Structure 1
Amino acid sequence: MFGSPVTVPSYSPHLRRSGSRPVFLDLGSSELGKSSEEHFQHQRELNEMKSGSLPLHATSLMPSPIFLWRFKVLLFLIWGFGCCKIGWDSVMRMSADLRDLFLYEAFLYYNPLLLVTLMVWLWGVNLWVFAQSTVNYAKIFDLDQDHLTHREIWKCATWMTIIVPTSMTAYLYLYSHGEVSLAASQPVLLYAAVVMILIFPFEIFYLSSRYYFLRTLWRIILPLQAITFSDFFLADILTSMAKVLSDLERSVCRMVNRQVATIAWFEADSVCGSHSITIPLVLVLPYMCRFFQCLRQYRDTKEKTTLLNALKYSTAVPVIFLSALKYHVFPDRWTNIYRPLWLLSSVINSLYSFYWDVTRDWDLSGFSRIFKFSKPHICSSLLYGRSWVYFWVIGSNLILRCTWTYKLSAHLRHNYITVFTIMALEILRRFQWIFFRVENEWNKMMKTSMELPMGDIPKEEEKLLGSSNHTV
């Protein structure tokens, strides 16, 4: 009757866990049982949930990290295929005579941000390799404890990879379907969003890292203080992004003059066209910033090598302005006088920059090693002590230095596919340059820290041992 034990069914809510022993309740003493057994069981479950150990049936419902990663990759591939398909169909809707101008204009707006996205991805790879090796990049760049790691850099690059091509696809689709005003708003909104994220003054979107980047840019433009490694390191990267800065200037010029989604800028008398004097000025700006940095370093250190480094950056100025003269002189005069001078200045700039990379920035006087890795890794087995790595880096650096003048020369920029490829290769060259440059700086820091002031040791010994003029 009422005092007999009753077995609770398996679907009863009193069964908290699957696989536990059967629970028996005495219905006659149920009030007393609930005040002790269930309270203890409930408290134990709350503690387990707080500690992170979930019941088996709850754990089985959660997807594994591998499944989530594969699902994200699948969504990314579907998104990429959709953007390519919509973009290709939109381009094919254009007439053949306007298609090239249409793509040229689209690349003008979006190739700067696409190349910046590529640079962010590669910078994350740089940090990842440094984290695997003994190179302490945080100490080299004087970063705080909250600096961005390679995972956070890759997260930013992932969002950039999604947002920029999506905006470009929307621009192509809207322009080809006659929605010119909506198409013109796409690059404007994208550039405005990038500026707002950079200057957003609240503690989101990595505030300290963003302000560190902006402060470094300000120190590059106005080198009023002593130059740090991060200052001229970022300035060197900006020299590789000179064409990106030039395209940014042309894009902003078009937005200000309301010439987006038109081909009026292609005319000779356009303020944003090929004849604009602003183009060579923006191209030469990173080199002049680096030039004044070298002069400031000479003022602080009195090292003559900084003057030679300043001379290296000054050799890029004739390349840029001689190329821009094509749009301001007669064709015969350009062909007979200025073009040979442009070729000569290009050769001098390429060879001088290549020599400085190998002997000064990398200090590859002897082919000994590339990195000292702190633990066994695939990078250590592929790169450690391999001579072919050095031959590859030196050979590819020489070839890509020779294409340096192509992206600096204004009269060669109308083939947008070739220019985009050359710019991407220049970013890859700078990416591999970073490895050797940062490691060389780390070696200098370690050498300086290990060198003891040996001249002070005898002085200390003389103080301790020299005063032995006493009698026993």
Structure 2
Amino acid sequence: MVVSLFDLYFPLPYRICATILIGIYAWGLNVHLLTDARIDVQSLIKYTHYNDSRRPFYQAIYHFAFVLTLYVIISWGIFVIGVNTKDLDINGPSASIKLLDLVPVLTLFGFLFAFVYPGKTFHYNGRQRLLGIFKRIIFGGLDIDCRFADILIADVLTSYNKVLLDLVYTLCIFFSGKSSLTNPNRTYGGDFVAPITMAIPSLIRFSQCSIDYLRSGATIHILNCIKYASAFPILIAALLLKKSKDSPDQDAFFDQNFFFKLWTLASLINSTYSFYWDVTNDWGLELFDSFPSYHYGGLRSVRVVKFRLVYYAVVLIDFTLRAVWILKLTYSWNDFPDLETGLFILETLEISRRAFWVFFRTEKEWASSGTIIKDHNIQLPLTERR
């Protein structure tokens, strides 16, 4: 097996760190821009940022991300210095550099530990608040008072489903004693590891929408449940397609071609439905209304960004990145998303799309709630479930 330079110099553990850091910086930038637009993000997510230096909330996010970035870059620099392409042969990394496996893996473990570190330093309040939200949503909770923050985190998780799968494979590779400096083995755990892992974020949001429906009885929450449930047929069709490739039967009616069409149809329905929901419900724009408000250019009356063209551009970007799976249908790109480089690029694009989504979702929440900049002293229980 020939190992690509991408896998050798940028192994899976570093990619996981990179994608998480992109998300943190994107959140910091969103908070920065929204704060400059006089939107009190802290009141929307019901969080009070305590800091003796009176550092703004977004600066605290930047600082947290910067320290972790410095940690990862130093580790990666040491790792690259230790790697020599002469140690690479047709069978993968030679024994002389296998000890380097510990560097990226331990870096990832240290990176993740920074979030759960129990010490009352290094952004303790923010980390505890984030962990509290994770505990609540993973076990099916949805806080009434902290609903927006819970939903925001859960929606972001749906964009990290492939990163979550990368983490699972990294753990499998490490505990099986295999090298992380080769092309990652994505067959660990059999055929069901990938669909089950990638379904978890959608299951969390499905659960939240169900809770919302039981509390309010509003039909819109049922429609939102359907949106997240539409992700499951894609995973099932992908599993069946993989099995049909592994065991081809030319005489079978449900052959590889059938399951590929099924996967295409499921992806089309999910992408179209999700895009419509982004624009109409999550962002509150009127572009698809029966009688859109052309006085506002099909947008809405309350907007942070002065130029309407920005909203139209973001809608187009959201549509394009929602439909990136179409690359699978083209001849020249047919195998690209299956390569590790392609997977990383697709993950990064999806995280970038989610960053745009978060900005305009938060803006819409502010527009509908009428929240203004003022001092708040709000501190909710971290793991309260209601």
Q: What TM-score bracket applies, with the shorter chain setting the length? A: 0.7 to 0.9
Larger Rg: 1
Q: State the alpha-carbon separation in 1 of the partners of residues 183 and 206 from structure 2.
A: 36
Name 1:100's counterpart in structure 2. 4
Alignment partner for residue 220 of structure 2, among 292, 298, 305? 305
Q: Does 1:202 align with 2:119?
A: yes
Name the CA shift for 1:145/1:115 in 2 (closer, same or farther; >3 Å): closer
Retained in 1: the 8 A contact 2:17–2:111? no
CA contact (8 A) 1:180 1:261 kept: no
TM-score of the superposed pair, with normalisation by structure 2: 0.79
Shift of 1:312: 0.2
Q: Give the secondary-structure state (helix, strand or coil) at the position aligned to 1:259.
A: coil
Q: 2:202 aligns with which of 247, 272, 287?
A: 287
Change in 2 beyond 3 A, CA 1:245/1:236: same
CA distance in 1, matches of 2:366, 2:216: 20
Q: Name the CA distance, whole Å, in 2 between partners of 1:404 and 1:125.
A: 27
Equivalent residue of 1:98, what SS?
Answer: coil
**Cross-structure match for 1:257:** 176
2:130 paired residue number = 213
Task: Assess if the C-alpha contact under 8 Å between 1:220 and 1:289 holds in 2.
Answer: yes
Kindly tell me: are residues 113 and 405 of structure 1, through their superposed partners in 2, closer, same or farther at Cα, counting changes over 3 Å? farther
Structure 2 partner of 1:431: 355
Q: How far off its partner does 1:221 sit?
A: 0.8
Q: Is the 8 A contact 2:237 2:262 kept in 1?
A: yes
2:266 pairs, out of 345, 348, 354, with 345
Match of 1:231?
150
Alignment map for 1:4-83 (pairs within 5 Å): none
Q: Which residue of 1 aligns with 2:299?
A: 367
Higher relative contact order (CA 8 A, sep 6+): 2
Distance 1:206 1:404 in 2: 38
Instruction: Verify: 1:441 aligned to 2:365, yes or no.
Output: yes
Q: State yes or no: 1:109 paired with 2:17.
A: no
Match of 1:130 among 7, 11, 34: 34
Cα distance in 1 between the residues matched to 2:327 and 2:210: 27
In structure 2, the partner of 1:317 is 232
TM-score, length-scaled by structure 1: 0.65
In the TM superposition, what is the alpha-carbon distance from 1:289 to its structure 2 partner?
0.6
* 1:250, distance to aligned residue in structure 2 (A): 0.6
Q: Which amino acid aligns with 2:368?
A: K
Query: What is the number of equivalent residue pairs in this alignment?
Result: 334
Gaps of 5+ in 2: 88-93, 287-297, 329-334, 373-386
2:79 to 168, 171, 177: 171
Mapping for residues 395-406 of structure 1, pairs under 5 Å: 395-403=316-324
Q: What percentage of aligned pairs have identical amino acids?
A: 28
* Runs of at least 5 residues in structure 1 that lack an aligned partner in the other structure: 1-96, 373-382, 449-472
Q: Which has the higher helix share?
A: 1
Letter in 2 for 1:143: Y
**1:326 paired residue number:** 241
Partners in 1 of 2:44 and 2:238 — Cα distance?
38
Contact 1:259 1:265 (8 Å CA) reproduced:
no
Structure 1 residues 369, 175: CA separation in 2 closer, same or farther (over 3 Å shift)? farther
Distance verdict in 2 for CA 1:254–1:200, change over 3 Å: same
**1:158 equivalent in alignment to 2:73:** no
Look up the SS of the partner of 1:328 in the other structure.
helix
Cα distance in 2, alignment partners of residues 116 and 129 from structure 1: 20
Which AA in structure 2 matches 1:350? S
